[in-house]
């Protein structure tokens, strides 16, 4: 990779890492990070909502850095840098010169979605990095039609599928686009099909686990499509939200789509992007699912704008001004640069989910001590993850259980606890006890309107049935 990029593209990637690390310990752990670390402590071939690699990586890396938040987030920052480097490589593959590569890298580095994803240790940034890399290799394979290029693309795709199953959407759209728009020369060789076979190996562990556990990821996908995730969107609003992928430089992606359409050998990329957006609208997917195609669209769009600028003095400032404004706006919106009380939670849901976990733990721990509860039963994996981390760090708490996603598989309470602290709305549990009385209310102390602010903590006593009967009713996908 190093030989294909000019030094300035590396500097763009390093600058992004520096920015992400500078704000890496702002606010606090995100609910997804708390869940991933705990999930990785329960090794499995896969989990209800994802393959196994990222949870296992999160738990291992958390221990390596001793739980330090800034260092914990160094890995996602590095993954974000990979996306930027891939953007430069993609520009080079499309014929872009040194400055085209640098500006493409800058456009992608200032993308709102990449800043948000690169700040957090989650599946998104690793998925985007590997999907972008696969798309670049796919472009090379289609243009060069050699066995080595196709097999390398297949191998990276296999790795991407051990991180998330979403690359199937992107790669599937690319395959259909090649059939529809060509060039079809490579499809007449065995290499694309062998590459697909290699890529499919990355799905084997996930498929085995899902088949053995009743395909819970299908329920998870349905829940997201119906708005069950904090970042879910209404299907009809997704086209309006797509500009949030890159901010005001989204116009460069549109220019890139037009430029690629005009090139017969690259027209399939525009078709793939159109198919992917259509599929996301129909299925209720999230805008960032399309980010794997952003580097190649940005590469084509940036080169087209630079040709339009030419040497004309009045136009030369267009790209620098647009990218500069986008960098500032994306940083303020997508990164925790403001005080927590001023965070734009309405625009970026993830800001709020990093605030208030210490206060939440203190509230629950205090209630547990005062009520002598035997168990804490939580409504979601963020609540459970925060308490499990606190228990591992020495906070006095009873065992933690919950039915949300992976927690249902590993947190079934031992014995028959009767005196249970129920956090949040766990309807099935609240109906299963003789009494349930409020004992505390969660407040994050920063005035941030997030998922846990105002959560009621109840003491439920006298289980009217058995935990064997109650536990299946607590299972929740999203």
- A 10 A CB-CB count for 342 gives 12
Residue 148 region by backbone torsions, left for phi larger than 0, else alpha for psi between -120 and 50, else beta: alpha
- pLDDT tier for residue 281 given thresholds of 50, 70 and 90: confident
Residues with Cβ within 8 Å of 394's Cβ and at least 6 positions away in sequence, in order, are none
Report the pLDDT value the prediction gives residue 311, as an integer from 0 to 100. Answer: 67
Report the pLDDT value the prediction gives residue 6, as an integer from 0 to 100. Answer: 55
Average pLDDT over residues 361-373: 97
Average pLDDT over residues 441-463: 94
Residue 401 near residue 355, CB atoms below 8 Å: no
Q: Dig out the tokens for 248 from the structure.
A: 């005001």
Rounded Cα distance between 295 and 94, Å, is 11
CA-only gyration radius of the chain, Å = 24
Residue 143 near residue 304, CB atoms below 8 Å: no
Residues with Cβ within 8 Å of 67's Cβ and at least 6 positions away in sequence, in order, are 393
The chain-wide mean pLDDT, for the chain, equals 92
Could you tell me whether strands 400-402 and 375-378 are parallel, antiparallel, or unpaired per DSSP bridges? parallel
Average pLDDT over residues 82-108: 95
Give the CA distances from residue 336 to residues 206, 212, 260, 402, in Å, rounded to whole numbers and listed in that order: 34, 41, 36, 30
374: pLDDT strictly greater than 80:
yes
Closest to 73 in 3D by CA, of 339, 307, 443, 81 = 81
- What DSSP designation does 24 have? T
Higher pLDDT among residues 313 and 76, named by residue: 76
- pLDDT tier for residue 88 given thresholds of 50, 70 and 90: very high
Closest to 16 in 3D by CA, of 135, 129, 111, 127 = 111
Average pLDDT over residues 283-306: 92
Report the pLDDT value the prediction gives residue 233, as an integer from 0 to 100. Answer: 54
- What DSSP designation does 352 have? H
To the nearest whole percent, how much of the chain has pLDDT over 90? Answer: 79
Average pLDDT over residues 438-461: 94
Average pLDDT over residues 314-323: 87
- The sign one gets for the Cα dihedral 386, 225, 158, 21 is negative
To the nearest whole percent, how much of the chain has pLDDT over 70? Answer: 93
Residue 227 near residue 187, CB atoms below 8 Å: no
- pLDDT tier for residue 4 given thresholds of 50, 70 and 90: low
Residues with Cβ within 8 Å of 441's Cβ and at least 6 positions away in sequence, in order, are 363, 454, 455, 456, 457
Rounded Cα distance between 238 and 51, Å, is 26
pLDDT in tens, 335-355: 999 999 899 998 899 999 999
The whole-angstrom distance between residue 447's C-alpha and the CA centroid of its chain comes to 26
Give the CA distances from residue 83 to residues 66, 131, 461, in Å, rounded to whole numbers and listed in that order: 27, 9, 52
Provide the angle, in degrees to the nearest 10, between the axes of the packed helices 123-144 and 294-309: 70
Report the pLDDT value the prediction gives residue 224, as an integer from 0 to 100. Answer: 58
Highest mean pLDDT among 229-233, 282-286, 313-317: 282-286
Q: Dig out the tokens for 322 from the structure.
A: 């647009």
Q: What is the CB-side half-sphere exposure of residue 13 using CA atoms within 13 A?
A: 22
Rounded Cα distance between 386 and 400, Å, is 10
Q: What is the CB-side half-sphere exposure of residue 369 using CA atoms within 13 A?
A: 9
pTM to 2 decimal places: 0.92
Give the least confident one: 2-16, 51-65, 79-93, 248-262. 2-16
Report the pLDDT value the prediction gives residue 263, as an integer from 0 to 100. Answer: 93
Which phi and psi angles does 146 have, rounded to 5°? -100, 155
Average pLDDT over residues 92-107: 94
Report the pLDDT value the prediction gives residue 201, as an integer from 0 to 100. Answer: 97
Average pLDDT over residues 39-56: 96
Q: How many helices (H) and strands (E) does the chain have?
A: 25, 7
Average pLDDT over residues 294-309: 94
- Strands (E) in 336-470, as ranges, are 375-378, 400-402, 419-423, 433-441, 456-463
235: pLDDT strictly greater than 60:
no
191: pLDDT strictly greater than 80:
yes
Q: What is the CB-side half-sphere exposure of residue 58 using CA atoms within 13 A?
A: 29
Report the pLDDT value the prediction gives residue 222, as an integer from 0 to 100. Answer: 65
232: pLDDT strictly greater than 60:
no
The whole-angstrom distance between residue 262's C-alpha and the CA centroid of its chain comes to 32
pLDDT in tens, 404-418: 999 999 999 999 999
Report the pLDDT value the prediction gives residue 226, as an integer from 0 to 100. Answer: 57
pLDDT in tens, 200-229: 999 999 999 999 998 887 876 666 555 555
Q: What is the CB-side half-sphere exposure of residue 184 using CA atoms within 13 A?
A: 6
- What DSSP designation does 455 have? -
Report the pLDDT value the prediction gives residue 3, as an integer from 0 to 100. Answer: 46
pLDDT in tens, 420-431: 999 999 988 888
Closest to 111 in 3D by CA, of 316, 307, 305, 248 = 248
327: pLDDT strictly greater than 70:
yes
Residue 121 near residue 80, CB atoms below 8 Å: no
**Helix locations, 28-73, DSSP H:** 31-40, 53-64, 69-72
- pLDDT tier for residue 144 given thresholds of 50, 70 and 90: confident
């Amino acid at each position: 990779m190093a030989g294909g990029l000019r030094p300035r593209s590396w500097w763009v990637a390093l600058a992004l890492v520096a920015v992400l690390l500078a704000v890496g310990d702002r606010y606090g752990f995100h609910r997804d990070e708390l869940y991933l670390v705990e999930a990785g402590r329960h090794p499995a071939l896969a989990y209800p909502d994802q393959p196994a690699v990222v949870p296992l990586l999160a738990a291992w890396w958390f221990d390596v850095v001793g739980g330090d938040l800034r260092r914990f987030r160094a890995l996602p920052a590095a993954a974000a840098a990979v996306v930027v480097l891939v953007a430069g490589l993609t520009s080079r593959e499309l014929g872009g010169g040194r400055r085209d590569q640098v500006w493409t890298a800058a456009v992608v580095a200032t993308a709102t979605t990449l800043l948000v994803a690169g700040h957090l240790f989650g599946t998104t940034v690793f998925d985007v990095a590997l999907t972008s890399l696969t798309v670049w290799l796919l472009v090379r394979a289609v243009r060069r039609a050699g066995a080595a290029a196709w097999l390398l693309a297949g191998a990276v795709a296999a790795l991407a599928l051990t991180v998330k199953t979403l690359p199937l959407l992107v790669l599937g759209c690319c395959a259909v686009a090649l059939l529809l728009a060509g060039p079809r020369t490579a499809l007449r060789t065995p290499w694309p099909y062998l590459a697909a076979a290699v890529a499919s190996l990355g799905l084997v562990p996930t498929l085995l686990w899902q088949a053995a556990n009743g395909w819970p990821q299908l329920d998870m996908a349905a829940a997201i499509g119906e708005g069950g995730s904090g970042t879910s969107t209404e299907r009809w609003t997704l086209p309006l939200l797509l500009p949030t992928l890159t901010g005001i430089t989204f116009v460069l992606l549109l220019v890139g789509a037009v430029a690629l359409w005009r090139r017969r050998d690259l027209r399939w990329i525009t078709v793939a992007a159109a198919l992917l957006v259509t599929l996301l609208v129909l299925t209720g997917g999230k805008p960032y699912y399309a980010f794997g195609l952003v580097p190649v669209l940005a590469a084509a769009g940036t080169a087209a704008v630079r040709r339009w600028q030419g040497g004309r003095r009045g136009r030369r400032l267009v790209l620098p001004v647009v990218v500069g404004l986008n960098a500032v706006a994306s940083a303020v919106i997508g990164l925790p640069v403001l005080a927590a009380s001023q965070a734009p939670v309405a625009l970026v849901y993830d800001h709020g989910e990093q605030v208030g976990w210490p206060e939440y733990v203190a509230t629950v721990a205090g209630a547990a001590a005062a009520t002598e509860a035997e168990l804490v039963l939580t409504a979601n994996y963020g609540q459970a993850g925060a308490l499990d981390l606190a228990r591992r760090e020495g906070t006095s708490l009873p065992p933690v259980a919950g039915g949300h996603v992976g927690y249902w598989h590993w947190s079934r309470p031992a014995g028959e606890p009767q005196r249970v602290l129920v956090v949040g709305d766990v309807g099935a549990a609240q109906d299963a006890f003789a009494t349930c009385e409020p004992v505390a209310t969660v407040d994050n102390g920063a005035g941030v309107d997030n998922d846990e602010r105002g959560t009621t903590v109840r003491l439920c006593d006298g289980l009217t049935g058995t935990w064997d009967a109650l536990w299946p009713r607590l299972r929740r996908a999203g």
